[in-house]
Amino acid sequence: MSARYLSSEQDAKLRRWERWNRNYFVFAFFALILVLVFSSQLGISSGEDWGGLGVLLVVLVIPIIVLQLRLSCPACGTKIGWQAKLMAPDQCKSCGVFLRSKNSSS
Ligand SMILES: [Zn+2]
């Protein structure tokens, strides 16, 4: 069985997902820090009431989950988002295709 690779079009789609995923992760990370730093000033974590902060955390985390769920193998369509962390995995565990194009330099 010869190794299978993605077409450059499929590869571009995957790279685009990685870029979005990484950018959002960075955004969420800094937003989280800002929220934690300024939460007392904003009055959303005053005393026992962490409800507002909890909602903000959920709002920040949901797009990460959505992004992960949206990633599927371009070759077989299996959802591979949960195999990925920040980057797509090297190879699809389901169909064994390499998740990059054959002539990509990396
Ligand atoms: Zn696959």
Whether 66 is in a domain gets the answer: yes
Return the closest-CA partner of residue 56 out of 90, 26, 32. 32
Residue 91 CA, ligand 1 centroid: distance in Å:
8
Whether 97 is in a domain gets the answer: yes
Whether 12 is in a domain gets the answer: yes
Residue 3 CA, ligand 1 centroid: distance in Å:
12
pLDDT for 84 equals 76
pTM of the model as a whole: 0.77
Provide the 10 A C-beta neighbour count for residue 31. 15
Residue 101 CA, ligand 1 centroid: distance in Å:
14
Number of domains in the chain: 1
pLDDT for 23 equals 95
Whether 106 is in a domain gets the answer: no
Which structural domain, as residue segments, surrounds residue 19?
5-101
Residue 94 CA, ligand 1 centroid: distance in Å:
5
pLDDT for 7 equals 95
Whether 56 is in a domain gets the answer: yes
pLDDT in tens, 19-76: 999 999 999 999 989 888 887 776 655 555 667 778 888 999 999 889 888 899 999 9
Positive or negative torsion for Cα 39, 44, 47, 51: negative
User: pLDDT higher for 78 or 82?
Assistant: 78
Whether 55 is in a domain gets the answer: yes
pLDDT for 105 equals 54
